[in-house]
Structure 1
Amino acid sequence: MTTTISNANLTVQIKHMGAELFSLKNNQNTEYIWEGNPAFWGKHSPILFPIVGTLKNNTYKYNQKQFQLSRHGFAREMEFELVEKSEESATFSLISTLETKKVYPFDFELQICYSLDENKLNIDYKVINKSETTLPFAIGAHPAFALPGNFEEYSLEFQQAETLKYYLLEEGLISNNSNEIQLDNKKLGLNYQWFEKDALVFKTLESKSITILKNEKSILKVNFNDFPNLGIWTVQNAPFLCIEPWFGYSDTLNEYDDFLKKEGIQLLRKNETFKSNYSVEIL
C-alpha cells in the first residue's frame, strides 16, 4: 500500500512497508528521490531503527543475553499503520510485537510523520518507550536523492566553513582510521572516489544543513538540526547520493559488553518520548 500527500508545490508518496518515502516531485514533475533500481541499490529512503549501521557479528548483548539484529534494524522491513492523514500530512506507526521482542526485547512505538510546508517536506520521528526499563536505540534517515547526468557536475555545500573529519568503515564497522576533508568555500565536489570504501561517516559536524548543487545551481537542501551524526554514501557509478542524518552509527571494531554502553546509543527512560526532525527543501 502507498499514501500520497500534496500541496501546490510538491507531491509525496510513501510506502506503508517501512513507512518509506519513495517519491518527491515538484509541480513540474521533477523527481528528487532515487528510483530504487536494484542493479545499484533497491531502496529509496529507508528508516533505520532500532540500530543504525552494522553490529559486530550482527550481535549485541543486553542483560547478559545475546541478540541478533541485521544491518540498520527491522523497521525498514515492517508494515507500518497509517494512523492519521490529511491532504498535506500523513503519520505512520510501528508498535513492538512478539516477533520484534525476540530480537529487540523492548516495548516501543515508532511514529513517522511526513508533512508539507510550501516547498519543504518535514519528516518527524517519534520514539515512545512503553517498556518498564530504559529503551536503548539508534535511529536514522537514509534518503537517496536522484542525481541524473554526470555525477562530477554535482557538489555539496555545507552550512559551515569547516574541516570535515570522517571515519572509514571496515566490513561495515567504524574503524580507528579517520581522514579529513578541507572544504573549498564550504563546498565538496562529488567524485565516486570518495566512496570507494563505503560511506563517509561523520561522528560530529558543525553544519546542520547540506545543499546539493549541479553546476553551481542549488537543487535541494537537507536540514538536520536535531541530528548529531551523519553519513554520506553512494554506490560506484550510481546516479544517486544519500545524505543520512543519524542518532548513532555502526559498532566500532571494539566489542561492547553491554548494548546500553554502545557508542552513539540513545537511552530513553520509561514512559518518555524521543522526538527529532529533518527536512528536505526543494530550491
Structure 2
Amino acid sequence: MLTTTISNNILTVEIKNLGAELCSLRDKNNKQYIWEGNAQYWPKHSPILFPIVGTLKNNIYHYNDVSYTMSRHGFAREMEFKLIDHQVNKAIFSLHSSEETMKTYPFKFELQIIYTLFDNSLNIEYKVVNTGDSLMPFSIGAHPAIALADVFENYSLEFEKDEALQQHTLENDLISTVTKVINLKDNQLDLSYDLFKNDALIFKSLTSRSLTILENQKPLLKLNFDKFPSLGIWTKINAPFICIEPWFGYSDTINSTGDLFHKEGIQILNHDEVFYSKFSIEILD
C-alpha cells in the first residue's frame, strides 16, 4: 500500500494514500504513538470521517425527494487520495467528487488533508471546498487511535477545564434522548473499559479545547482541537488504544427525519466557499 513519509528532527510520520490516513507517528527513539491497526481489535489507525460523522438513521438520508444510502462515517476513509504537495515536513492530500461519490453524495467538492510537522507537534488540517452550484451539507471529523503500551487502567485523560461532561448515550448507534453527567476529578477522567461497555462516549459540546493523555500520571501526548465543537472518545473492549475524536457533527438522533440539511451538527457551505479546521497531536514524553 502506498504511503508518504514526512519528518523533522523529532518526529517521523507515515500517511497512507488510501483515506489520507495517518498510520504512524514515531519519535527519534522509534516510540510509536499511533495504533498499529491489528485487525484482532480494529484494522484502522486514524481514519478521516467525511461527509458524515457517525451513523445515519437506517443508513439513509434524503435530498431533493431522493433517498441516498451512506454507511457509517462516510466514504472518504475508503478512497484513494492524490498527493498534491510533498515537502520534508509537510504533505497535502486531495480528494475530488466523482461519478462514484455522486451516487451516494450528490454534491461537488474537494477535500484536502494537510499534515505538517512543527517541532514535537503534528498539525492535521482539513480544507473542504464546495465546487458545485448548490449549498453543500457535510460533517467532518478525526478518529486518531493512540497506542497504549501499558495497562489500560494506568491511563487517564486530563481535560483543559475541570468541567462536568454531558455524555449523550447511544441507542442502536444513534444519539438517544438519554444523557449522563461525567464529573471530572482534578480535570481528569480515569480510563477503564467499563466506560465503553455501551460504545463511544459522545459529547456534543464541551468547554475544554484540549485533552492530555496521562500514563501513570505522566503526560504522554496532548490533542489540541480549538475549533471543533464536539468530541468522541472510544476504544474496543480489551484493546490497547484510545481514540480521541474531534468532530464537526455526530450520529443521527433517534428522532432524525433523514433531512441532511436539518441534521444536528451539520455544516453548510455556499458555492465556492471554503471550510478550514485543524487539530494537533503534541508529543509530551
TM-score tier after normalising by the smaller chain length: over 0.9
Distance 2:37 2:23 in 1: 8
SS state at 1:226 partner: coil
Q: Could you say which residue in structure 2 is the equivalent of 1:87? A: 88
CA contact (8 A) 1:63 1:258 kept: no
SS state at 1:48 partner: coil
Unaligned runs of 5+ in 2: none
Q: Could you say which residue in structure 1 is the equivalent of 2:44? A: 43
1:39-62 deviation digits (Å, cap 9, x = unpaired): 100000000000000000000001
Q: Could you say which residue in structure 2 is the equivalent of 1:60? A: 61
Distance 2:134 2:42 in 1: 37
Matches within 5 A, 1:110-149: 110-149=111-150
Distance 1:184 1:258 in 2: 40
Deviation at 1:208, TM superposition (A): 0.5
SS state at 1:103 partner: coil
Supply the AA of the counterpart residue of 1:260: F
Deviation at 1:238, TM superposition (A): 0.4
Distance 1:44 1:61 in 2: 31
Q: Could you say which residue in structure 1 is the equivalent of 2:200? A: 199
Matches within 5 A, 1:202-221: 202-221=203-222
Q: Could you say which residue in structure 1 is the equivalent of 2:4? A: 3
Distance 1:258 1:5 in 2: 41
SS state at 2:103 partner: helix
CA contact (8 A) 2:60 2:258 kept: no
Matches within 5 A, 1:13-52: 13-52=14-53
Q: Could you say which residue in structure 1 is the equivalent of 2:190? A: 189
Distance 2:256 2:182 in 1: 28
Unaligned runs of 5+ in 1: none
Task: List structure 1 segments (4+ residues) > 6 angstroms apart after TM superposition.
Answer: none
Distance 1:120 1:83 in 2: 22
RMSD of the alignment, in Å?
0.6
SS state at 2:169 partner: strand
Q: Does 1:273 align with 2:269?
A: no
Deviation at 1:200, TM superposition (A): 0.3
CA contact (8 A) 2:57 2:258 kept: no
SS state at 1:260 partner: helix
Distance 2:66 2:256 in 1: 14
Deviation at 1:119, TM superposition (A): 0.1
TM-score (norm 2): 0.99
SS state at 1:213 partner: strand
Supply the AA of the counterpart residue of 1:104: Y
Supply the AA of the counterpart residue of 1:217: K
Supply the AA of the counterpart residue of 2:184: L
Deviation at 1:104, TM superposition (A): 0.2
1:100-159 deviation digits (Å, cap 9, x = unpaired): 001000100000000000000000000000110011000000000001121000000000
Distance 1:32 1:101 in 2: 36
Q: Could you say which residue in structure 2 is the equivalent of 1:168? A: 169
Deviation at 1:255, TM superposition (A): 2.5
1:3-61 deviation digits (Å, cap 9, x = unpaired): 00000000000000000000000111100000111110000000000000000000000
Distance 1:114 1:143 in 2: 13
Supply the AA of the counterpart residue of 2:224: N
